[in-house]
Amino acid sequence: MDNVWGYILWVIFPYVALGSFFFGTIIRLSLYGGNITAKSSELLEKKQLMIGSILFHIGIIFVFFGHVVGIFIPKSFTDFLGIPNEVYHMGALFMGGMAGFMALAGMIILSYRRFTNKRVFMTSSFSDLVVNVSFLIVIVLGLSASLIEGTVFHPEFNYRLNLSVWARQLFYFRPNYHLMLQVPIVFRIHVICGLLIFAFFPYTRLVHALTLPWQYIFRRPIVYRKKGLRGRSK
């Protein structure tokens, strides 16, 4: 039975979540691209939004790229460069911890604002509330996994020997679910919650993160002149 659930959770479910992310995003951008917006509530409350948004976005960007490095750079490469595992681990904990706590602080402020400010709450959709709660859960799980589970209860655990290998295997369609059965439970829950966020990403305001105002880069510059400037130049 464990093998059945292991196969469902670590082979089938990741592709369902990633398929929802990729195909849902393509459909959303193709059919409803003009309706994609972050739906800013800045006019309703600005101070908490600014502080929380800056902290969360800076933190989550560093967290994301930290995950990319942890997954796609194998242990053999850092060994080749002569970087001891202890040094790599301490650096990852320090940088990842700082970025994680920054993202957590920002999300706490944003969630407090969304749930306690009556005007902001009334203009929030159900998906907005789910997004806030989901990010809080994922960030707390990630910090708990790295700073507590991976250092106190399982200090011998090295995610680059199983979790990262499994994640890379997903991209060439040969995931070995037995690798994830070796991973501590908090890490596994963190991965599942992270995949769920990818799954519902295209159907929430999160999709605005993938839209960039390319037209501002390639459009001709707009020249502004003060009124009466031509007359004074004469």
Write out pLDDT tens, residues 117-156: 999 999 999 999 999 999 999 999 999 999 999 888 998 9
Taking alpha carbons only, the member of 223, 161, 203 closest to residue 26 is: 203
| 3-class SS string, 193-210 | HHHHHHHHHHHCHHHHHH
pTM score, whole prediction? 0.87
Q: How confident is the model at residue 44 (pLDDT cuts 50, 70, 90)?
A: confident
Predicted local distance difference test score (pLDDT) of residue 66: 95
**Residue 20 and residue 199 in contact, taking contact as beta carbons nearer than 8 Å:** yes
Write down the residue that tokens 């809080």 correspond to: 136
Q: How confident is the model at residue 225 (pLDDT cuts 50, 70, 90)?
A: low
**Helices 163-171/47-72 angle, 10° precision:** 90
Write out pLDDT tens, residues 196-221: 999 999 999 888 888 765 555 666 66
Handedness of CA 226, 230, 231, 234 (dihedral sign): positive
DSSP 173: T
The full set of domain ranges for the chain reads: 2-31+45-221
**CATH number assigned to the domain with residue range 2-31+45-221, chosen from the 4 options 3.60.20.10, 1.20.950.20, 3.30.930.10, 1.10.1060.10:** 1.20.950.20
Burial zone of 94 (CB within 10 Å; 0-12 exposed, 13-18 middle, 19+ buried): exposed
Q: How confident is the model at residue 21 (pLDDT cuts 50, 70, 90)?
A: very high
Write down the residue that tokens 């959709």 correspond to: 125
**Residue 85 and residue 158 in contact, taking contact as beta carbons nearer than 8 Å:** yes
154 contacts: CB under 8 Å, gap ≥ 6 = 184
Cα gap 208→38, rounded to integer Å: 6
Q: Which pairs from 25-28 meet CB under 8 Å and 24+ separation?
A: 25/201, 25/202, 25/207, 25/210, 27/202, 28/202, 28/203, 28/207
Cα gap 113→40, rounded to integer Å: 13
